[in-house]
Structure 1
Amino acid sequence: MAAGVELGFAEAAGPAGAWRLRSACFPSKVGGRPAWLGEAGLPGPAALRCGRCQQPCAFLLQLYAPLPDRPDAFHRTLFVFACRGAACYRLPGPRGPLCVFRNQLPRRNDTYPAEPPPEEPPPGLAAAPPPLRLRSGAALCRVCGCLGPRVCGSCRRAAYCGPQHQALDWRRGHRRSCGKHAAGDDLADAIPEHNEFLFPEYEILIEPEEPEFPADSSVDPNDEQGAVDTSKDLKEQGELGATGSAGKK
């Protein structure tokens, strides 16, 4: 354990803690939509398809894993996407149902300040809906939160990563709201926080693993013979104590 071991625990953030799962707070989380770290080099729809069934993969989890000693990776997040089809995990093939991507930035960049994120939610962030666009203006899919180069043919404003998610959003209510929003409206009232394609969202709380034995312990946890000998000594001491008590009587 020279480098130490860290454990992650999934915990529901709840409405009050949802702001901690946004990009500006460098979250580690499971499910929901990805909180992209940077905006350059994000995977497109073709890169996020299952290598076996060719269906879109869902965002599974992301881990904030910075490398402070590397100028180019002061901020670093690993993203994992997984196919929702159970059969794809049993099929053979060179490409599997999982996709992993890395996104990293230097400490001084055009997106985030050099100081650590705030401990309390900034004004307006706590109740803000999921973003539909990146700061660069690139649209995100209303269903999965990944890049959305495809737009609704009617309103020309709702963005999707492909026809599967466009059809899903149409069934979930976009057909009722399509074309009814004024120019400049970001459709935030029409986008659901969750849907059946997304995994349930949890925050990952990371804590260092506590050693099973104290650092100054003289007992080697890997020494099975020593553990056996110790138990024998305790047993013999108990027998001697019982014998001595009987002798006093």
Structure 2
Amino acid sequence: MAPGVELGFAAAAEGAGGAWRLHSTYFPSKVGGRPAWLGEAGLPGPAALRCGRCQQPCAFLLQLYAPLPGRADAFHRTLFVFACRGAACYGLAGPGGPFLFRSQLPRRNDTYPEEPPPEEPPPGPAPAPPRRLGSGAALCRVCGCLGPRCCGRCRRAAYCGPEHQALDWRRGHRRSCGQHAAGDDLANAIPEHNEFLFPEYEILIEPEEPELPADSTDDEQGAEGTSKDAKEQEELGAAGTAGQK
């Protein structure tokens, strides 16, 4: 039997009330915002996420949670898609985006419990965008990808490259950088959105409804009506022939 078709619909995450479902703990499928990384090993670096045409950083476009329960090494599996923000690049020849990356984990791993996540929202406010992975690797304040570059002044703000460091500096890091003690996180809080990110939506996945067969009752009534019409035509023809004799 051929596998069924599933359809994805982009839906608003209902503000802070639904944003908790978009964090990696809940294995989301989503569009835009920052990537909710499934694992920590093998993440694409800044060089892998640059457009092959304009050489600018690509933005996270969407991710789909597509597990393979039949495979021990892909009990959890997420596909990540990145695309260039420059519209002109899509009309040029040569290598370029979009780029697809896959991340997968076995059911028993060091990041997630073996049981499914709870369906109820966690207590308290939604968590802020992460600065670092559990391994200690820093994430870019702008795009949420690996950030090996850091601010030369405060040494705390991480970036994937000079483009996003300059963008964050203009957006307000110049005012907060170095003004507070190293332990004060308020000054270096990561803004939830910026102009580089695509608008964020949750992807709701539903199976495609099978095409319903034609109503057999209507077919039977139509066949019965056709049969009656043919019988009436035969009777009229016979009556006409009798009248001519």
The question of a shared fold, defined as TM-score above 0.5 by the shorter chain, is answered with yes
Cα deviation code 1:43-89 (max 9, x no counterpart): 00000000111100000000000000100000000000000001110
Aligned mates of 1:122, 1:37 — CA distance in 2: 19
3-state DSSP of counterpart to 1:76: strand
TM-score normalised by the chain length of structure 2? 0.86
What are the within-5 Å matches in structure 2 for residues 105-120 of structure 1?
A: 105-120=105-120
In the alignment, structure 1 segments of 5+ residues that lack a partner are 220-229, 245-249
CA 150–239 in structure 1, closer or farther in 2 if over 3 Å, else same: farther
One-letter code aligned to 2:108: R
Contact between 1:177 and 1:190, CA under 8 Å: does it hold in 2? no
CA 186–140 in structure 1, closer or farther in 2 if over 3 Å, else same: farther
What are the within-5 Å matches in structure 2 for residues 117-132 of structure 1?
A: 117-124=117-124, 126-132=125-131
Compute the displacement of 1:188 (Å): 7.2
Contact between 1:132 and 1:186, CA under 8 Å: does it hold in 2? no
3-state DSSP of counterpart to 1:172: helix
What are the within-5 Å matches in structure 2 for residues 1-249 of structure 1?
A: 2-13=2-13, 14-93=15-94, 95-124=95-124, 126-187=125-186, 190-214=189-213, 233=222, 237=226, 240=229
User: Rg larger in 1 or in 2?
Assistant: 2
CA 187–150 in structure 1, closer or farther in 2 if over 3 Å, else same: farther
Compute the displacement of 1:15 (Å): 1.3
CA 238–33 in structure 1, closer or farther in 2 if over 3 Å, else same: farther
Cα deviation code 1:84-130 (max 9, x no counterpart): 0011100011x122111000000000000000011112234x42111
Contact between 2:176 and 2:188, CA under 8 Å: does it hold in 1? no
Aligned mates of 2:74, 2:57 — CA distance in 1: 28
One-letter code aligned to 2:146: L
3-state DSSP of counterpart to 2:18: helix
Cα RMSD over matched residues?
A: 2.6
In the alignment, structure 2 segments of 5+ residues that lack a partner are 234-245
One-letter code aligned to 1:8: G
Contact between 1:129 and 1:188, CA under 8 Å: does it hold in 2? no
Contact between 1:174 and 1:190, CA under 8 Å: does it hold in 2? no
One-letter code aligned to 1:91: L
One-letter code aligned to 2:20: W
Identical columns (%): 81
Aligned mates of 1:37, 1:237 — CA distance in 2: 63
- Matched pairs, number: 229
